[in-house]
Amino acid sequence: MLSHETAAHLHGIPMPHAPWLHRDPSGYRTSDLPPVHITVPKGTKRIRRSGVVDHRRKLDARHVTEVHGLRVTTLERTWLDLCALGYPWLPDDLVAAGDYLVKHPWHPGGRLPPLSTVEQIRQAVDQVGQFKGKRLAKDALELVRVGADAPPETKLRLALLRAGLPEPELQCPIDPDDEDSPETDLGYEDCRLAMQYEGAGHRTAEQQTRDVRRDRYAAERGWRTLKANVDDQREGFRSFIRQVRRHRDSWGKT
């Protein structure tokens, strides 16, 4: 049964690193291609084959599905397995993977239904019972939220929380009374602050047009827009958080 990172790749779950470059904590490249992870029943003879990592765990039939004709673990079970892997799956990466499962994917015709829900993931935790990484899974699940369209948005939200700031609203409408109001990635309505993470997807002409219209709409209604990018993420959003704090202070908000 394909599982762990292999199943995550097939499900489209965002990885915390380039899947073809596996490095140990020292930064040394250990392989050019990611290993294939499979889960087999306990007591099965070990699979000693280069490029294959086998895991011996009980696998409930409810946690098996098919992707592209291949038998793989379900989204929920795959997420739990990722929580058991350790490096490079750090807590923020696991929360980002959980956010991916429960988000409503953007589509030109409107948001689509989520792949899973927090409740479905929680049910999978209870069904699996005891497993390595269970405590980490429960802690990460408490931080999973609906609304982050990409891992950097999740990491920005978590950075704001760690800095002691209030939890921002995700996909925050600039004007809740306007059904056509654009949304910002993260927002503080109490001080009219819109926060955007601008990744590669914002470089297209179509997206830039939408961004300009959204920013103009926000400015007309007295909202300030702060934009984060990959450099902000690399420094843990420290300077971005300072700007957020100064803006909130100017509004008398803590």
Asked which of 48-52, 115-119, 235-239 is least confident by mean pLDDT, the reply is 48-52
Average pLDDT across the chain, whole number: 91
- The H-or-E segment that residue 84 falls in is none
Q: What is the pLDDT of residue 33?
A: 73
pLDDT over 70 at 23, yes or no: no
Mean pLDDT of 129-151: 96
Q: What is the pLDDT of residue 201?
A: 63
Q: What is the pLDDT of residue 45?
A: 80
Euclidean distance between CA atoms 202 and 246, whole angstroms: 26
CB 213 within 8 A of CB 134: no
Cβ neighbours of residue 124 under 8 Å, at least 6 residues apart?
A: 63, 74, 76, 77, 79, 80
pLDDT over 70 at 170, yes or no: yes
Cα 92 to Cα 98, 107, 197, 247, distances in angstroms: 10, 26, 16, 26
pLDDT over 70 at 28, yes or no: no
Euclidean distance between CA atoms 165 and 241, whole angstroms: 9
pLDDT band at 205 (very low <50, low <70, confident <90, very high): confident
pLDDT over 90 at 202, yes or no: no
Strands 193-197 and 224-228: what pairing? parallel
One CATH from 3.30.710.10, 3.30.450.70, 3.40.960.10, 3.40.50.300 for 151-250: 3.40.960.10
- Please report, as a single letter, which amino acid is at residue 174: I
- The H-or-E segment that residue 107 falls in is none
pLDDT over 90 at 238, yes or no: yes
Q: What is the pLDDT of residue 109?
A: 83
- Please report, as a single letter, which amino acid is at residue 189: E
Token pair of 221 as six digits: 């209604």
- Please report, as a single letter, which amino acid is at residue 19: P
Domain ranges of the chain: 4-141, 151-250
Mean pLDDT of 99-126: 94
Q: What is the pLDDT of residue 36?
A: 95
Q: What is the pLDDT of residue 110?
A: 84
Q: What is the pLDDT of residue 200?
A: 66
Q: What is the DSSP string of 111-152?
A: PPPPS--HHHHHHHHHHH-S-TTHHHHHHHHTT--TT-SSHH
pLDDT over 80 at 22, yes or no: no
